[in-house]
Amino acid sequence: MSEVTLWELLREVERAGRCSHPVRLGGTTLERATGELHDAILVVSCKDRRAAICPACADRYRGDAWQLVAAGLRGGKGVPATAVEHPRLFVTMTAPSFGPVHAHRVGGSRVRPAPCHPRRSATACPHGVVLDCRERHGADDPVLGEPLCAACFDYVGAVLWNARVSLLWQRTTVAIVRHLAREAGTSEARLRRVVRLSYIKVVEFQRRGLVHLHIVVRADGADGPGSLPPAWLDAGALASAVTDAARTTTVAVPRLEGRAAARAGWGQELDVRDLAVDGGAGPEAIAAYVAKYATKSVDDAGHLARPIRAARAIERLRLGPHHAELVRTAWRLGTVTSLKGLRLRDHAHTLGYGGQATTKSIAYSTTFTALRNARVDFMRAATGPRIEVDHGWRYAGRGYEHPDAGILADRLAEELARLRREGPGDVHQSAPSR
Ligand SMILES: [Zn+2]
Ligand SMILES: [Zn+2]
Ligand SMILES: [Zn+2]
């Protein structure tokens, strides 16, 4: 590779934001100085948020997510710094059990993990498996999330729960307001005139294939982060409303032949933390935690990256047996008439879940789009007014024009990841977006 070529490759890679598999757009550019029109190919980043798919784009997404979350907690990006005075919680809502799975459990001594699933008088299940596991699984044990007995695991229940969790969350937010109104001795409509709840939530797929929600909730006055909530609404009152809502809210699961009518609710594990008193975990730490989840894939390897088009494609995905069965179950249920509305075939690669990975209410803080636009403006200012981009750019393929540029992009991503692992502190927090 000659020096000139390397320089050109680097420039191509940098222009596309070091993306692993960018999108090529064809169109026309106007050279301002001469007024000449040129056919041009524009190579733009894929903007995939998943680190397993595109490390560079996921990195920028993580930076943006960090900014979004942090701004809502400590002010900035249009949110007044006084938002810090408002009740703010960090909440984790979980899925119920659909059968025992192997788990990494932090031990009391924290030196070695606690036993996985010890049951002193465990009997064999109908499939002859004793539902007892004394192993102390490490955090990276490949068996984590796999059921003790796959035949006992309720795959249909798990997929239907994932498919209903967005609605369950929506109903839960309504229940939080209802609970607050009851506490204040007023109606929901009156309460909404003085209180506005804002949140950002990130979905995490657990190894057992069920969705968890990580949510930052903030209570503002009716006009959003610039207005104070009523004095009685402190973090304690908000926490008890959230807890009550999570414990009591359920949604109907569509009827399925051969299954009893069921409702989907949250699991027993519920974590509600007051961000004003939680020792150590400042806005920056919470933002980093949420942003990390925002770039995770359904499975760690990223095999479940794209929608599935045919049943035989599932068997080619190199999934573990548990994930494969969840995908097959969603695919199979996709043709059941009573479940049509859940579009389970479209969401088989997300194990039934049909919502976004990250969602936020309007008033929480700035938006991903605003952060991206700011970055584009910054790049335009940096590259100067040399060319103006014409309208009507059309898709012209995937990948860099020069194949070596793709290899270079991947090497750069690896190097940056290595620097981040070995370097001091978290790179995102000092340079969140570019
Ligand atoms: Zn990319
Ligand atoms: Zn185990
Ligand atoms: Zn069994």
pLDDT value at position 430? Answer: 37
**What is the number of the ligand closest to the CA of 55?**
1
SS (H, E, C) the chain: CCHHHHHHHHHHHHHCCCCCCCEEEEEEEEECCCCCEEEEEEEECCCCCCCCCCHHHHHHHHHHHHHHHHHHHHCECCECHHHHHCCEEEEEECCCCCCCECCCECCCCCCCCECCECCCCCCECCCCCECCECCCCCCCCCCCCCECCCCCCCHHHHHHHHHHHHHHHHHHHHHHHHHHHHHHCCCHHHHHCCCEEEEEEEEEECCCCCEEEEEEEEEEECCECCCCCCCCCCHHHHHHHHHHHHHHCEEEECCCCCCCCEEEECCCCEEEEECCCCCCCCHHHHHHHHHHHHCCCCCCCCCCCCCCCCHHHHHCCCCCHHHHHHHHHHHHHCCCHHHHHHCCCCCHHHCCCCCCCEEECCCCCCCHHHHHHHHHHHHHHHHCCCEEECCCCEEEEECCCCHHHHHHHHHHHHHHHHHHHHCCCCHHHHCCCC
Residues with CB under 5 A from ligand 1 (ion): 19, 45-46, 54, 57
Q: Which of 38, 98, 65, 28 is nearest to 293 (CA)?
A: 65
Residues 41-80: tens digit of each pLDDT = 888 889 888 888 888 899 889 999 999 899 998 888 889 9
**Regarding predicted confidence, which is higher, 386 or 176?**
176
In the reported structure, the alpha carbon of residue 68 is separated from the centroid of ligand 3 by a whole-number distance in angstroms of 45
Contact between 339 and 256 (Cβ < 8 Å) = yes
Residues 263-283: tens digit of each pLDDT = 999 999 999 999 887 556 788
Torsion of CA 165, 166, 171, 172, to 10 degrees: 70
Separation between Cα atoms, residue 331 and residue 337, nearest integer Å? 13
In the reported structure, the alpha carbon of residue 101 is separated from the centroid of ligand 3 by a whole-number distance in angstroms of 12
Task: For residue 274, give both structure tokens.
Answer: 């007051």
Q: How many CB atoms lie within 10 A of CB 319?
A: 19
Residues 109-163: tens digit of each pLDDT = 667 889 999 888 878 999 999 989 999 999 889 899 999 999 999 999 999 999 9
In the reported structure, the alpha carbon of residue 95 is separated from the centroid of ligand 3 by a whole-number distance in angstroms of 21
Q: What is the mean pLDDT of residues 226-248?
A: 96
In the reported structure, the alpha carbon of residue 381 is separated from the centroid of ligand 3 by a whole-number distance in angstroms of 63
In the reported structure, the alpha carbon of residue 48 is separated from the centroid of ligand 1 by a whole-number distance in angstroms of 6
Separation between Cα atoms, residue 10 and residue 160, nearest integer Å? 47
Residues 76-107: tens digit of each pLDDT = 888 999 888 999 999 999 999 999 999 998 87
The CA R_g of the chain, rounded to the nearest whole Å, is 25
Per-residue pLDDT for 225 more than 60? yes
Q: How far is CA 146 from CA 14, 100, 167, 325, in A?
A: 41, 9, 27, 11
Task: For residue 90, give both structure tokens.
Answer: 């960090």
pLDDT value at position 238? Answer: 97
Domain ranges for the chain: 3-46+369-424, 55-98+154-366, 102-152
pLDDT band for position 311 (cuts 50, 70, 90):
very high
Per-residue pLDDT for 432 more than 50? no
In the reported structure, the alpha carbon of residue 308 is separated from the centroid of ligand 3 by a whole-number distance in angstroms of 29
Residues in Cβ contact with 379 at an 8 Å cutoff, skipping those fewer than 6 apart: none
Residues of the chain with pLDDT > 70, as a percent, come to 91
Residues 349-404: tens digit of each pLDDT = 999 999 988 898 888 888 888 888 877 766 666 554 445 555 677 888 898 888 88
Q: What is the mean pLDDT of residues 325-337?
A: 97
Q: What is the mean pLDDT of residues 253-260?
A: 88
In the reported structure, the alpha carbon of residue 57 is separated from the centroid of ligand 1 by a whole-number distance in angstroms of 4
Q: Is the dihedral of CA 201, 205, 207, 212 positive or negative?
A: positive
pLDDT value at position 178? Answer: 97
- Give the Cα-Cα-Cα angle 273, 209, 302 (nearest 5 degrees): 105
pLDDT value at position 396? Answer: 87
Q: Which of 331, 351, 59 is nearest to 205 (CA)?
A: 351
User: Distance from CA of residue 29 to its chain's centroid?
Assistant: 37
pLDDT band for position 434 (cuts 50, 70, 90):
very low
Per-residue pLDDT for 235 more than 90? yes
Separation between Cα atoms, residue 209 and residue 117, nearest integer Å? 18
In the reported structure, the alpha carbon of residue 320 is separated from the centroid of ligand 3 by a whole-number distance in angstroms of 18
In the reported structure, the alpha carbon of residue 153 is separated from the centroid of ligand 3 by a whole-number distance in angstroms of 7
Separation between Cα atoms, residue 82 and residue 74, nearest integer Å? 8
pLDDT value at position 386? Answer: 46
In the reported structure, the alpha carbon of residue 129 is separated from the centroid of ligand 3 by a whole-number distance in angstroms of 6
In the reported structure, the alpha carbon of residue 98 is separated from the centroid of ligand 2 by a whole-number distance in angstroms of 16
pTM of the model: 0.87
